[in-house]
Amino acid sequence: MKEQKTCQDITTCIGTEVDIVIETAGSLVPIEVKLSATPKPAFASSIKIFREDYGDRVLPGYVVHPGDVSLPLTPGVTALPFAEL
């Protein structure tokens, strides 16, 4: 049987929005989409808050961007170029 995945945006209880959340097998993957080609650790702030609100259900998150580098931004958050999706 094929696993069902759900994709949506979610606002945390303090109003911070995560652009995309993929739910798979009861776990959540938060994704932020940025237009800057230079990823910065600050881009992961909403994912950090999301992780605090949703706890152990949250898998590592991603910040996708138009640049060409893939790198860790903060613990549990990786920047990925659009081309790597």
Q: Give per-residue pLDDT as tens, 16-27.
A: 789 999 999 999
CA 85/CA 83 separation, integer angstroms: 6
pLDDT at 7: 47
pLDDT at 65: 98
pLDDT in tens, 46-79: 999 999 989 999 999 999 999 999 999 999 999 9
Q: State the average pLDDT over residues 27-56.
A: 95
**So what's the pLDDT on residue 14?**
56
Residue 67 CA to residue 35 CA, distance in Å, equals 9
Q: Is 56 helix (H, G, I), strand (E, B) or coil?
A: helix
